[in-house]
Every structure is written in structure tokens, then in C-alpha cells.
């Protein structure tokens, strides 16, 4: 069964890279260009994971992660969120994880690390979804 991955990213080159990488696997990429659009999609569609850029044009990824974790939709409390960021200093990592993200990946993106984390964080979610 395909995994539904929501990628919230405003930069077209980054979106194109992830689109190419995920299209080679069993992934359905759902794209959002702003934080608010990403929140709306996450609340209305069935997503197995969220990839989240921290530097977005409307609200930053920290606020997006916090809003998703505090949503009235209980499924969003358990959806894995991986931040994708150019800000990879120690203080940034603490802030990213404190906002509710499960993991973070630095830009430029290490594709092998990304695919490994997607597999790790979504494997059980897909099994549960197919059983329900």
C-alpha cells in the first residue's frame, strides 16, 4: 500500500527533488506550498507522514508543527513530522524537536537518510491503516 507523504515546501527545486525521489517508491506525494495550506491538507486528508520545511512564506515550520500537534484532530498527534531545514545548528535542532517534530534532516537533503527515516516512521502506520 502506498504511503501518503505530505511535503510542505515553498521552494520549487526542493519540491521537484522530493517528487522525483518519492515517485520511484511506493509513495503518494501530497504537496503544499504554504504552512496554512499544509495544515489544511493534514487536517482533511489521510497522511502517513509530514515533511516540513522550517522557512515558509506565511508561518514558519515551528508554528505549523505546534498547530498540528495541538489540533483537535487526534490523528495529527501521532503523524510523524520530519523537519527539512537549512538551520541545523544545535539550538535549531532543540527548537525543531520542541515544536513537535519527530526528526529533522539538514539541507542539502541526504536522500538515503530521508528514505530510511520515511520507511522507519511510516512502516507501522501503513500496517495499521490496512488493518482498519
**Assigned domain for 76 exists:** yes
Q: State the pLDDT at residue 86.
A: 85
**Assigned domain for 119 exists:** yes
**Assigned domain for 132 exists:** no
**Assigned domain for 104 exists:** yes
Grid cell locating 61: 515550520
- Unique residue bearing C-alpha cell 490523528: 75
- Domain span at residue 59? 3-127
E strand or H helix that includes residue 41: helix 35-44
The count of structural domains within the chain is 1
Express each pLDDT in 49-98 by its tens digit.
Answer: 999 999 999 999 999 999 999 999 998 989 999 999 987 677 788 999 99
Express each pLDDT in 1-18 by its tens digit.
Answer: 789 999 999 999 999 999
Q: State the pLDDT at residue 46.
A: 94
Q: In this structure, what CATH number is given to the domain that contains residue 117? A: 3.40.50.2300
Q: State the pLDDT at residue 88.
A: 67
**Assigned domain for 38 exists:** yes
Q: Is residue 127 very low, low, confident or very high in pLDDT (cuts 50, 70, 90)?
A: very low
Q: State the pLDDT at residue 110.
A: 93
Q: pTM (2 decimals)?
A: 0.91
E strand or H helix that includes residue 5: strand 3-8
Amino acid at each position: 500500500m502506498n504511503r501518503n507523504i505530505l511535503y510542505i515546501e515553498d521552494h520549487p527545486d526542493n519540491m521537484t527533488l522530493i517528487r522525483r525521489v518519492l515517485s520511484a517508491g511506493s509513495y503518494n506525494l501530497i504537496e503544499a506550498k504554504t504552512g496554512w495550506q499544509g495544515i489544511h491538507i493534514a487536517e482533511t486528508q489521510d497522511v502517513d507522514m509530514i515533511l516540513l520545511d522550517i522557512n515558509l512564506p506565511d508561518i514558519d515550520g515551528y508554528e505549523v508543527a505546534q498547530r498540528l500537534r495541538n489540533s483537535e484532530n487526534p490523528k495529527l498527534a501521532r503523524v510523524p513530522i520530519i523537519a527539512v531545514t537549512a538551520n541545523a545548528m544545535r539550538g535549531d535542532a532543540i527548537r525543531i524537536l520542541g515544536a513537535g517534530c519527530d526528526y529533522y534532516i539538514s539541507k542539502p537533503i541526504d536522500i538515503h537518510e530521508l528514505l530510511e527515516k520515511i520507511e522507519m516512521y511510516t512502516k507501522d502506520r501503513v500496517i495499521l491503516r490496512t488493518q482498519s
